[in-house]
Structure 1
Amino acid sequence: MDLLLNTAQPYDWGSTTLLPRLMGLPPSGAPQAELWMGAHPAAPSRVQRGEEAVPLDRVIDLDPAGELGAATLRRFGPRLPFLLKLLAADAPLSVQVHPDLAQARAGFERENALGIPLDAPHRTYRDAQHKPELIVALTPFRGLCGFREPEECAALLDSLKVPGLHAYAQTLRFAPQTLALTEVFRAFLSPPAGLLAAVTEALTAGGGPYETDLAAYAGIARARPDDAGLLPALMLRYVELEPGQALFLGPGVPHAYLSGLGVEIMAGSDNVLRCGLTSKHVDPAGLLRVVRFRSQQAGVLTPRDEGGEEVYRTPVDDFRLSRLRPRPGVPPRRLTLDAPQIVLCTAGELSVTSAGRTAHIGPGHSVYLPAGAEAALTGHGTAFRATTDDAREPRDAPTPHQ
């Protein structure tokens, strides 16, 4: 068991207050967008080894079988297959999609063949992995997820009363769904002169049946003025999550987070295709090859109780995220699994005991447990437990005691 030393990413959309408030620290004034927990080579967590803080990816490289366990090593190779984050948004993230596994492998090989360095700013595929992800709200959380039904999207465009949107609304109403979404989305990536300004002005009027949605889009326009990503964003469903609710984002689903604090888990990849609302590299052509042009409900998830562990079930095995809420007087929660784990505290004061050692963690702090570590959780608070979805409890393993 190791306490993790984690890196905060200062992306420009990050909040200056949400992470410090969670962790009980004074704000520095700089944005803190994401706190990474895992072994991603771009910002691996560190663990203490004597007087040295060693990156977790190096620890795994030295003993992949011992750290990951036989099943994880066989299924995913010598790497931690998931990345856990605290995400704190105070401004919109990019409109983006993630590739499936076949698309990621093809894109990675294509950019390698072109000789694009892995760290080049204009590189899109930085690895050969897919990137499904799950976000669980810790505060009220706002975002965009998946395409609206074409008729609903047409009605929203009509509500803005911008003449230049009429032809797009007609396409959405009368063309077959896939064709309608494809044509309008593609056209919005390169809008005619003046349309973006007209839409931005119309959003300030608000009102009508889409008042809440339009207020969210008006916020996007204020945060990212003159960014053409606003127009394709109009086609996406606006979603509000209450604390504890979650969204799962599979391959090809366009999305953008807008504001709030959440726990995010994803496959250990950095493959993101963006088309706007960002200062980072955009790849509209690449995004069009990956996005899946079909309407779907946002699919808000709530956890399912599985023996006192509240599990957020998803269709992928790269990760599993669950919520634990220990209380005084309740027996220790056994954590032993045949796979690696990260346990993150988000409220209260918790203790993780393993091999005669106890780590005390408060909000925003986390521990790493290698496969097979005999461990238990006690205290009064809330923890999120990240592991792989095919993890199993070893048979006959004793429950450790403090």
Structure 2
Amino acid sequence: MYTIHPVPKRYAWGSRSSLQRMFHLDGADAQGPLAEMWFSGHAQSPSMLDMPSADGTTRMIALTDAIAQDPDGMVGARGANEFGPVLPFLFKTIAADEPLSLQVHPVGFQARAGFNIENRQGIALDAPERSFKDMNAKSEMVVALEPFLASVGFASHSFALRNLQLLRSPIAQRMVDAFASGGRHGDDSFADADMMMPVAATVWPESRKRIFRAFHTAVTAPASDPDALIDDINTAAAHATHSRNIMAFDFALRAARAFPGDTSVLALLMMNPVRLEEGESVFLPTGVPHAYIYGTGAEIMTNSDNVLRAGMTVKHKDIVNLLQCVDCRPTSPVNPSDARLGALLMRDVVFYKPGVSEYVLAYGHVDDTRAWPIVERLAVRYDALVQQMRGRAAVPHAGPRVLLCTQGEVVCTTQTDTRTLRQGEAVFIPASDGGVRISGTSGSYLMASTPF
């Protein structure tokens, strides 16, 4: 196994304390907001490994180069055959003090098309106006390490209408019109939205088109008076009665304060508000609109940095491409711990298995004296599933892994090595190291892996 160094990402919405504390940063490294720490095999931001040299010294080498030199040893023959000589997942810790962008990730064919178009246009891969950084579809999963807030996917029509009808804003009222009557025969008042629908919309039911029109209204509207928008959301929130509606208004208000005058914050009132406690998770398939609002979590995704933004950001917006990719089906947030996807709970570890071929995630705890309270809480929440699954072995062991100590210290043992990791330290475990055993007296860890 090899020490792996995370790549820091400093965005304005990042926390000023959470990741700094986890990774024991000080001095200049601890200053300002820190949003993400990447454990990455992505070509644009690879992590560095400490690897031994023939002369007994240690050299630093990019993970991408280490895999290219020994793909079978680093990611395994099966992984190299299925995904190529690459790490198929991107693993991050993320901490948000403020809401971040309203965004969508593309499916595979859209990513490939967008990547090739921007190449032909001569847009540099690291250019700020670049939308497609690679050709990969991007799904992702978040596991909360502390309370984590997010808006995920479109909620039901009735939920959205209950929220939007409480607002006085002309933009909100036009969104209400889109839900209630937009697109009726002979009604061309939403023709601009209809022209931006993807080709697949020709077979959409009318209900899905109405969601698209309402969302289009929010993300294409001009900026409004910041104080008036905040006042309108505040006043409407006072009339909300159900806890989910109140939460949605809270998220929209946070976003309106962070991005003054940005009407795209009204789209949050159409979406499912989610609060995750530690150990709880949500899976985001390609095309699902989402915005993270606040909190610290672990994030794992396919090996992609493709992000299409519609608002709530100072970065490049690509509304045209986003609208071509957005999934307008109203759905409940998909939790990888529920019966449809499955998570395995054992005494001191939870395995999150979202049903994709690139990644799984384990969140575990070592303690000689007591069971982990998080597992007990999740066991109560998912009692029926736990009774079916508890005790079955499903530890991924044949592919590449990244192990990060998040609290205390843990001992990692493979067939060839043993390491003690303290909070903020991580190792890359190549496929050739075989199985892994995690032990210790007091500590927590995250392990990202392929599900081989």
TM-score normalised over the length of structure 2: 0.80
Identical-pair percentage: 34
**1:108 corresponds to:** 115
Q: Counterparts in 2 of 1:126-137, with a 5 A limit?
A: 126-137=133-144
> Alpha-carbon deviations, 1:106-140, whole Å to 9, x = none?
22122223332222221111111011000000000
Pairing 1:20–2:20 present? yes
Structure 1 residue 301: Cα displacement: 3.7
Q: Counterparts in 2 of 1:247-326, with a 5 A limit?
A: 247-302=282-337, 304-305=343-344, 309-326=349-366
Runs of 4+ in 1 over 6 A off after TM superposition: 333-336
Give the distance between the partners of 1:149 and 1:113, measured in 2 at CA. 40
Find 2:445's aligned residue among 383, 397, 402: 383
Find 2:221's aligned residue among 174, 191, 208: 191
Pairing 1:337–2:376 present? no
Structure 1 residue 213: Cα displacement: 2.1
Find 2:175's aligned residue among 165, 168, 171: 168
Structure 1 residue 356: Cα displacement: 5.1
Give the distance between the partners of 2:223 and 2:6, measured in 1 at CA. 45
Find 2:90's aligned residue among 83, 108, 123: 83
Give the distance between the partners of 1:275 and 1:231, measured in 2 at CA. 12
CA contact (8 A) 1:336 1:372 kept: no
**2:260 corresponds to:** 225
Give the distance between the partners of 1:31 and 1:195, measured in 2 at CA. 28
**2:233 corresponds to:** 203
Pairing 1:159–2:221 present? no
CA contact (8 A) 1:335 1:377 kept: no
> Alpha-carbon deviations, 1:47-104, whole Å to 9, x = none?
1133422111111111112111110001000110001111011111100001111211
**1:400 corresponds to:** none
Give the distance between the partners of 1:35 and 1:193, measured in 2 at CA. 33
Q: Secondary structure at the match of 1:316?
A: coil
> Alpha-carbon deviations, 1:2-24, whole Å to 9, x = none?
11121211111100111123345
**1:398 corresponds to:** none
Find 1:39's aligned residue among 22, 38, 41: 41
> Alpha-carbon deviations, 1:173-231, whole Å to 9, x = none?
34532111111111222225747764332123331223332122111111111223313
Q: How many residues align?
A: 388
Structure 1 residue 165: Cα displacement: 2.7
CA contact (8 A) 1:3 1:359 kept: no
Structure 2: segments with no counterpart, 5+ residues: 52-56, 183-205, 371-392
Judged with a 3 Å threshold, the aligned counterparts in structure 2 of structure 1 residues 111 and 25 are, in CA distance, closer, same or farther, namely closer
CA contact (8 A) 1:188 1:228 kept: yes
Pairing 1:239–2:239 present? no
Give the distance between the partners of 2:222 and 2:260, measured in 1 at CA. 16
Structure 1: segments with no counterpart, 5+ residues: 392-402
> Alpha-carbon deviations, 1:270-329, whole Å to 9, x = none?
111001111111100000000011111122343722666521121211111122323338
